[in-house]
């Protein structure tokens, strides 16, 4: 499955597990863990480019969301805790490599102002 097919066939409403299962049809998420660092970096570069390009498309089409003067990005997939979104001093949760972030949302978002 390609990313375009992913977008065309992802249901409007889905669970974390359904999202991950669908994404696994595009790329084997567990196999990413076994890539050498250089290849993981290449996948990261591609994913970041795709995210940036999608943001540009949204902006150019006038579809971006602005809340209180601040651009916001909508994300509906499972939350993966990492160094960029976890408070300082909180240890990394490597169990996410097994769960693929499924069912993390409630725990990670509890007590936060989202």
Segment 56-84, tens digit of pLDDT: 999 999 999 999 999 898 899 999 999 99
102 part of a folded domain: yes
When pLDDT is cut at 50, 70 and 90, the band that residue 107 belongs to is low
When mean pLDDT is compared across 1-15, 21-35, 98-112, the lowest value belongs to: 98-112
Domain that holds residue 48: 3-109
38 part of a folded domain: yes
What is the reported pTM?
Answer: 0.83
**DSSP annotation string for 47-74:** HHHHHHHHHHHHHHTT--EEETTEEE--
* Pick from 63, 34, 29: nearest CA to 47: 29
Domain count, the chain: 1
114 part of a folded domain: no
98 part of a folded domain: yes
């Amino acid at each position: 499955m390609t990313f375009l097919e992913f977008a065309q066939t992802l249901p409007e409403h889905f669970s974390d597990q359904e999202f991950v299962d669908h994404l696994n049809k595009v790329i084997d998420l567990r196999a990413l863990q076994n890539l050498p660092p250089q290849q993981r970096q290449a996948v990261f570069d591609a994913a970041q480019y795709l995210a940036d390009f999608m943001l540009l498309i949204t902006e150019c089409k006038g579809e971006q969301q602005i809340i209180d003067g601040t651009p916001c990005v909508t994300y509906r997939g499972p939350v993966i805790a990492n160094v960029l979104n976890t408070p300082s001093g909180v240890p990394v949760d490597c169990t996410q490599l097994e769960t693929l972030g499924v069912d993390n949302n409630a725990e990670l978002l509890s007590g936060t102002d989202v």
